[in-house]
Amino acid sequence: MCGRFAITHASDAMARLFEAAPANNLPDIPNYNVCPTTQIHVVFREDNGRRLVPMRWGFVPRWYKTPTDGPLLINARAETIAEKPAFREACRQRRCLIPADGFYEWFRPEGGDKLPWFIQPADEGPMVFAGIWQEWGASEDRISSCAIVTTEATGHMAEIHHRIPVILQAENWAKWLGEEGRGAARLMTAAADETLTFHRVGTAVNSNRAQGPDLIEEID
């Protein structure tokens, strides 16, 4: 799964990178400990082009009576996303890009406590997760929400955790957004080990209140 991530790229730089029109109320950057239910940066496609907007991380299905009416859906499994009632329409019609610097995952050694790792692109460029989004509610109560698509981990990542976010390379952003016809389903695969780096970080990140660049620094 993906339960925390970091983002430091400036909003205007992200707007240029994705060729997207930015909203005026984007979340503050940097954020070294992005947690579920917070507002995150999301790129989606409208008829007149791409937009960079804030969305709640935690997908709210249309039938929820309140945003907390059911389980918190921060991830959507690639293997079942096209079948699950909560996700199947969004998977076909409302796919999005979720930018990050990298994400955290926790590994529990035998007989020990969970230890946090930070996973980021080997080229130190932006990491872009495949996402889906949904609008819930009406008028002033309307909420735009999203979930990160995950898949079965392979290689070194599988030694840390059995799931990994679907990470999209730049040449596949348009395909995922539906700008280049069909074929998005074929993108829901695990990233190759050589495209990622992995390092241990301190346990300060175990707290969802922790912040600062020290959270992503490597420790022995």
Catalytic site positions: 2, 105
CA–CA separation, 164 and 12 (whole Å): 28
With H, G, I as helix, E, B as strand and everything else as coil, classify residue 15. Answer: helix
CA–CA separation, 190 and 121 (whole Å): 13
Bond prior to 30 in cis (omega within 30° of 0): yes
* Bridge partner list, 95: 132
Q: Which residues, in sequence order, are CB contacts of 190 under 8 Å at separation 6+?
A: 151, 152, 153, 154, 155, 157, 164, 166
